[in-house]
Structure 1
């Protein structure tokens, strides 16, 4: 690693001791979260609320902040993760509205920082709910994709993506539904861009998408050739997903194995981001409607 590429100002462990895969649990994360819980909890009531919500015994010393790292360390994993959600919810009516919002945001920031730095396999949503994270690369793709589909035009696409993420969050993950939902998101975007096709299949992709690609990259030979190969890849992806989509009068397919499902979902997310770019280009190339009374 050259001097220019060495991260500056980060802890040694974050640079050189990161695990190769996300961790299912972490003692360090539990200990660090214990200090966070102690910082944000209501000292007199949080232990009682936690016992009531989770149905677990909470030590009598819960009012003492220094004990919370050890309380969390001894919890079952499910209770440790649920504690974050319960703590977030207890803050909802603790202060006036603005202060409550700021406090909850700070809690989420602190908890997410711990999860990220300790590389554990969970993410925390904006309401304090904890979800399984596939891996760091998948999470990065998820965030990038959602941020690129912010306009109302893509509401239906986002709805299908939300369904896909919920399917992956199930325990165990519902991989078959996830694959179907990612296809629905891609097909919805394809129909939105080209309007005429009734479905996204290999024929329609060749008929609709390839000419659009030819126009967009007409002045860039290498980009054109590369993008034409991506059109072929999209056709192959569509064919691969069809094995797990239930068709009328056909046998219900079994669920894809996890590694196959995550591959198809990840590829689908990349194709959706690409198709969104194509959609922007198509929208930009469409002429504005003429004012009334003019030709």
Structure 2
């Protein structure tokens, strides 16, 4: 996919993406509050017409333009594009809007012209949202928190491949421990994978042809991923800091989120 232009509307950069988009009602309310505080009466009256003209989106009207209703209820892609339209009217609010996206853990970045983009790309964002959706149950609270924390390492301001891998590993380990149950193991390693997870998978897939071979290959893949990711879990003396190249970190994180989806589906 061609790189999106700076300052472009989200709906025009990613309109064909089937990706489930990251959203937050708190972020929407914060944006609405800053929008209302930063715009003049004339700008507030013109903004709905700009939204309709640029996005073709509905803008509620009840004895006057219902701005809060638009910001809180609009489609996610329209919400993101409307932020860009707002920044075009109030460029001094760019830093405020950028901070809201980051502070509310929305998985986007804002360029210097107010355009909003995925932190990585649509495919990675799809994997992230699918993994988070699988962890949206009480027993996976710790795993979800760990994944969210790891994703913060993708922030353009403090990007860290090691931080991303560390958060994903913790999320995988936490969800793994939930699946194998209490009083079995207390960490994710080859011994616990082969000794605990193997039996669960064999029982689940026993009706499939060559189930043992299929399960063995999955376990081999998981153990290889654990070996690859494990060194980044630990600290090191300052002069030996082992930061992960971001391309390798994204590969590791994508694989890890696949295992999160597997474990979430086993519950």
Pairwise TM-score range, normalised by the shorter structure: 0.5 to 0.7
Task: Please tell me whether the aligned partners of residues 246 and 253 of structure 1 are also in contact (alpha carbons under 8 angstroms).
Answer: no
Aligned-pair Cα RMSD in Å: 4.2
Question: Does residue 1:104 correspond to 2:92, yes or no?
Answer: no
State how 1:58-137 maps to structure 2 within 5 Å.
Answer: 65=46, 100-106=68-74, 108-112=76-80, 131-132=108-109, 133=118, 134-137=120-123
Helix, strand or coil: the match of 2:9?
A: helix
- Is structure 2 residue 157 aligned with structure 1 residue 189? no
User: Per-residue deviation at 1:169?
Assistant: 2.2
Contact 2:160 2:246 in 1 (8 A): no
Q: Residues 187-229 of structure 1, C-alpha deviation per residue, up to 9 Å, x if partnerless?
A: 1111122222121111211111112111111111245533321
CA distance in structure 2 between the partners assigned to 1:171 and 1:250 by the alignment: 21
Taking the aligned partners of 1:249 and 1:130, their CA distance within structure 2 comes to: 31
Which residue pairs with 2:253 in the alignment?
A: 265
* Alpha-carbon distance change, 205 to 102 in structure 1, aligned in 2, over 3 angstroms: same
Q: CA deviation at 1:65?
A: 4.4
Task: State the shift of 1:243 in Å.
Answer: 2.3
1:214 paired with 2:202, answer yes
Report the counterpart of residue 147 of structure 2 in structure 1: 161
Query: Contact 2:236/2:242 (CA < 8 Å) preserved in 1?
Result: no
Q: Which has the higher contact order (CA 8 A, sep 6+)?
A: 2
Question: 1:152 aligns to what?
Answer: 138
State the TM-score, normalized to the length of structure 1. 0.57
Residues 127 and 257, structure 2, Cα contact 8 Å, conserved in 1? yes
Query: What is the TM-score with the length of structure 2 in the denominator?
Result: 0.63
Aligned residues of 2:9 and 2:81 also touching (Cα < 8 A): no
Q: Secondary structure at the match of 1:171?
A: coil
User: How has the CA–CA distance of structure 1 residues 30 and 226 changed in structure 2, closer, same or farther, with 3 Å as cutoff?
Assistant: closer
1:21-76 CA-to-partner distances (Å, cap 9, x unmatched) read: 442x33542998xxxxxxx899996357xxxxxxxxxxxx968949x99xxxxxxx
Query: Could you say which structure has the larger radius of gyration?
Result: 1
Quickly say closer, same or farther: Cα 1:64–1:181, change in 2 above 3 A: same
